[in-house]
Amino acid sequence: MTDQTTASTERERSTERTDESDAFQSDAAATYAVLAECWREPSPRLVAAVEAGELEPVFGDLGSVDLKDLRTEHTRLFIGPAGPPCPPYESVYRDRDDPDELGPVKGPATMAVARWYREFGVQPAQDHSDLPDHIATELEFAAYLAEEGFDERLEQFCDEHLNTWTEAFLERVEDKTSEQFYEALAATTRQVVG
């Protein structure tokens, strides 16, 4: 499924680009990149951007956020130590035998995602300790595909991966979070990838 050659990849590369943002040629890429960054561990820059209203065009009003609160919530939802209630990994939702249980990390779905990355000449950074099918990394890869103009392959990646598990994940986030930021992030992510 994902062992297309580089040649076919080249053929599918779109020559059309948008130039609506300063930095991104693709607005879709910018959107995916913003979502990816928001699913990562909250940074001072994220908080500053929220406070400055810079994210409003994407998320609507996010109210006020506090870095420590946001980090604690991020840790609780996605890292642990308890649970975590919302593991942010594709395989946990894709590779389970039973919808009532959580599947494994580093499952077959994880490997399939890693093959996508390999095919496009990217890989998780050496010092990146998290798994390749983390929501943020998949979105980052989607941004990469969009930015590079691989529109059809982006469509395929979303069909084969992002679209297949994010709904289950986002529902959990909406169910478990008490931070408006993550509710808004979940809703917007659903809108974008759904």
Partner 1 sequence: MTDGKAYRRDVLKAGGAAAALGVGGGGFLQTLVESEEDQPSTSGIESFVGQNDVVQTVCSPNCRGKCPIDVHVRDGQVKKIEPHPPEDEQYKRACVLGLSHTQRVYDPTRLKYPMKRADWSPDKPNPQGRGPDAEFERVSWDEALDLVADKMQSLKADHGAESVLFHEGSGNYGQSGKSFKRLASLFGATQSAWGIDTNVGRGFNRVTGVGAFLPPTNEAEDWENANTIIVWGSDILSSQFQMDASKILDAIENGAKLVVVDPVYTTTASKADLWLPVEPGKDVHLALAMMHTVFEDETYDEDFLRKRTTAPALIRKDTGELLKASDVFEDGGENQVVAVERGSGSPVALEPETGGAYALFGEFTVDGVACETALTRLRDHVADYAPEKVAETTGVDAENIRTAIRWLATRGPGGIAPSYALGRYKHGHIFGQAYAMLMGMTGDYGRHGNIHAHHSGGATLAAGDWASPSDADPGPSLTFPEYPDAMIDGDPHKIRAVYSIESNMMGNQFPDRQRFREAIRSLEMYVVADMHHTDTVQHADIILPVPHWFEQEDICSGWGSHPHLGYRHKVQEPMWEAKDDYYAIRGLAERFGYGDRFPETKRDLLRKFAGRDDDIDFDTLFEQGTQKKESVPIVKYTDAFPTETGRIKMYDDEAPSEEGVTFDVPRPLEDRTADDYEKADEYPLMFMQKHSRFRIHSQYEMLNWVREINPEPQLDIHPKDAKARGIDDGEYVRVYNDRGEMVVKAKYNDAFQPGLVNTDQGWWSRDFVEGHLQDLTHNEVSEVGQTMAFYDVRVAVESAPDDVDTDKYGSDNPRGSGAKATPTGGD
Site for partner 1 in 58-87 (CB under 8 A): 58, 68, 71-72, 75-76, 79-85, 87
Binds partner 1 by CB under 8 A, chosen from 65, 90, 94, 107? 107
Q: Binding of partner 1 at residue 10 (CB under 8 A)?
A: no
Minimum CB–partner distance for residue 183 and partner 1 (Å) = 17
- Among 66, 106, 160, 187, the residue binding partner 1 under the rule CB under 8 A is 106
CA-to-CA dists, residue 21 to 24, 107, 147, angstroms: 5, 37, 12
Task: Compute the distance between CA of residue 142 and CA of residue 166 in angstroms, rounded to an integer.
Answer: 14
Buried b (16+ CB within 10 A) or exposed e, 32-66: bbbbbbbbbebeeebbebbeeeebeebbeebeebe
Residues 127-166 that bind partner 1 (CB under 8 A): 128-131, 134, 136-137, 140-141, 143-144, 147, 151-152
